[in-house]
Structure 1
Amino acid sequence: MNNKSEFLGTEDINKLLWKLSTPAIIGLLVQAFYNLVDTLFVGRALGEQSVLGIAGVAVAFPLQMLMMAISIGIGVGGSSVISRMLGSKDINKAEKTLGNVFAYTLILSIIFQILFFFNVDAVLNLFGATSDNLPYAKEYSVVILQGAFAFTFGFVLNNLVRAEGNSKVAMNNMVFSGVLNIFLDAILMFGFGMGVKGAALATVLAQLAGTLYLLHYYMSGKSPLKLELGNLVPQFPLIKEITLIGFGSFVMGASNSFMMLVLNNVLAVYGGDLSIAVFGVAIKLMMLILMPIIGISHGLQPIVGYNFGAENYARVNESVKKSLIVTTMFGLAGLILLSMFPGTFFSLFSTDADLISSGASAMRIMVLASPLIGINVIGTTLFQSVGKARPSFFLSMCRQILFLIPLVILLPYYFDLSGVWMASPLSDLFASLLSMFFVLKEYQYFKHRVDGDYS
Structure 2
Amino acid sequence: MDASPSAADADQKAEAPRFVVGSTMRHVLVMTGTGAAGLVAIFIVDLVSLLYISWLNDPSLTAGVGLATVVMFFTISINVGLMIPIGALVSRALGARRPEDARRLATSGSILMAIVAACVSLILLPLLPLLLNAMGASEQTYEVARNFLWIALPTNALMAVGMAFSTVLRAAGDAKRSMYATLSVAAVTVVLDPILIFGFGLKANGAALAINIARVAYVYVCFLYLTRAHNLLVVPRLKAVLADARPFFAIAVPAILTNIAAPVSNAFFTGVIAQFGDEAIAASAIIDRVTPVAFAGVFALAGAIGPVLGQNWGAQRYDRMKQTLKDALTFTVVYVGCVWLALFLVRVPLTHAFNAPPLTADLVQFFCQLSGFIWFFISLVFVANASFNNLGYPLLSTFFNWGRATLGMIPFAYFGARIAGPEGALIGIGAGSVVFGIAAVITAFWTIRRLERQAVPAL
| TM-score where L is the length of structure 1 | 0.91
CA distance in 2, matches of 1:18, 1:33: 21
CA distance in 1, matches of 2:86, 2:95: 14
CA distance in 2, matches of 1:73, 1:4: 31
Residue 263 of structure 1 deviates from its aligned partner by 1.5
Per the alignment, residue 442 of structure 1 pairs with 447
1:134 and 2:142 matched: yes
**Contact map agreement 1:289 1:370 (CA 8 A) in 2:** no
Partner SS for 1:350: coil
Shift in alpha-carbon separation, 1:224–1:15, aligned structure 2, 3 A:
farther
**Contact map agreement 1:81 1:97 (CA 8 A) in 2:** yes
Per the alignment, residue 148 of structure 1 pairs with 156
Which of 222, 230, 239 is 1:223 aligned to?
A: 230
Look up the equivalent residue of 2:213 and give its one-letter code: L
**Contact map agreement 2:279 2:357 (CA 8 A) in 1:** no
Residue 156 of structure 1 deviates from its aligned partner by 2.4
For 1:127-276, what aligned pairs fall within 5 Å after superposition? 127-220=135-228, 222-230=229-237, 234-236=241-243, 238-269=244-275, 271-276=276-281
Per the alignment, residue 349 of structure 1 pairs with 354
CA distance in 1, matches of 2:384, 2:18: 24
CA distance in 1, matches of 2:380, 2:100: 34
Shift in alpha-carbon separation, 1:428–1:338, aligned structure 2, 3 A:
farther
CA distance in 2, matches of 1:71, 1:403: 24
Residue 27 of structure 1 deviates from its aligned partner by 0.7
Per the alignment, residue 329 of structure 1 pairs with 334
1:84 and 2:95 matched: no
Which of 418, 421, 425 is 2:423 aligned to?
A: 418
Look up the equivalent residue of 1:230 and give its one-letter code: R
Look up the equivalent residue of 1:150 and give its one-letter code: L
For 1:46-85, what aligned pairs fall within 5 Å after superposition? 46-47=56-57, 49=58, 51-85=59-93
CA distance in 2, matches of 1:436, 1:10: 25
Per the alignment, residue 25 of structure 1 pairs with 36
Residue 366 of structure 1 deviates from its aligned partner by 4.3
Residue 303 of structure 1 deviates from its aligned partner by 1.1
Structure 1 unmatched ranges of 5 or more = none
CA distance in 2, matches of 1:55, 1:350: 14
Shift in alpha-carbon separation, 1:364–1:163, aligned structure 2, 3 A:
same
Residue 5 of structure 1 deviates from its aligned partner by 6.6
**Contact map agreement 2:363 2:423 (CA 8 A) in 1:** no
**Contact map agreement 1:99 1:232 (CA 8 A) in 2:** no
**Contact map agreement 1:30 1:178 (CA 8 A) in 2:** yes
**Contact map agreement 1:62 1:256 (CA 8 A) in 2:** no
Residue 204 of structure 1 deviates from its aligned partner by 1.6
Which of 394, 399, 402 is 1:397 aligned to?
A: 402
Partner SS for 2:173: coil
Shift in alpha-carbon separation, 1:107–1:370, aligned structure 2, 3 A:
closer
**Contact map agreement 1:20 1:167 (CA 8 A) in 2:** yes
Which of 320, 344, 347 is 1:339 aligned to?
A: 344
CA distance in 1, matches of 2:356, 2:70: 26
Look up the equivalent residue of 1:218 and give its one-letter code: L
Root mean square deviation, CA, Å: 2.3
Percent sequence identity is 17
Per the alignment, residue 368 of structure 1 pairs with 373
Matched residues, number? 444
Shift in alpha-carbon separation, 1:159–1:5, aligned structure 2, 3 A:
farther
Partner SS for 1:403: coil
| TM-score where L is the length of structure 2 | 0.90
Residue 445 of structure 1 deviates from its aligned partner by 4.1
Structure 2 unmatched ranges of 5 or more = 1-11
**Contact map agreement 1:339 1:367 (CA 8 A) in 2:** no
Per the alignment, residue 315 of structure 2 pairs with 310
Per the alignment, residue 304 of structure 2 pairs with 299
Partner SS for 1:322: helix
CA distance in 2, matches of 1:25, 1:288: 9
CA distance in 1, matches of 2:262, 2:254: 12
Partner SS for 1:432: helix
Shift in alpha-carbon separation, 1:289–1:252, aligned structure 2, 3 A:
farther
**Contact map agreement 1:103 1:233 (CA 8 A) in 2:** no
CA distance in 1, matches of 2:65, 2:424: 23
Partner SS for 1:234: helix
